[in-house]
Amino acid sequence: MNPLQLAGARPGPAFTVTFDGRPVEALPGQTVAAVLWAAGITSWRATRGEGRPRGVFCGIGVCFDCLVTVNGRPNQRACLVPARPGDEIGTQGGTGHEEVRRAD
């Protein structure tokens, strides 16, 4: 496919993921960060020291500010993880290990 054909391309049908239990619409090819931004959600992690809100900073997987829990797995970089139908995305607190310990 050449670039001119891609310019007119449209995404496939929308699907649903959840963020902290709330349904959110996603499009094929979007990262978790893109899905959350499109839904008006700009913060999904709290720093471990002072609990300050964080979301996307660099957008390329270098800074780790966008960490989120996806399907029970903490420390996923929202800017790199592709959203998949049915994903359960959650706000991550601190290092993310607190959630894992509570699940045990």
3-state secondary structure the chain: CCHHHHHCCCCCCCEEEEECCEEEEECCCCEHHHHHHHCCCCCCEECCCCCCEECCCCCCCCCCCCEEEECCEEEEECCCCECCCCCEEECEECCCHHHHHHHC
pLDDT at 99 over 70: no
The pTM (predicted TM-score) of the whole model is 0.81
Tens of pLDDT, residue by residue over 2-55, are 777 767 778 889 999 999 999 999 999 999 999 999 999 999 988 878 888 888
- Residue 82's CATH number: 3.10.20.440
Domain range for 35 is: 12-96
Tokens standing for residue 31: 């990262």
Number of structural domains in the chain: 1
- Could you tell me if residue 51 is inside a domain? yes
- Could you tell me if residue 103 is inside a domain? no
- Could you tell me if residue 77 is inside a domain? yes
- Could you tell me if residue 62 is inside a domain? yes
- Could you tell me if residue 6 is inside a domain? no
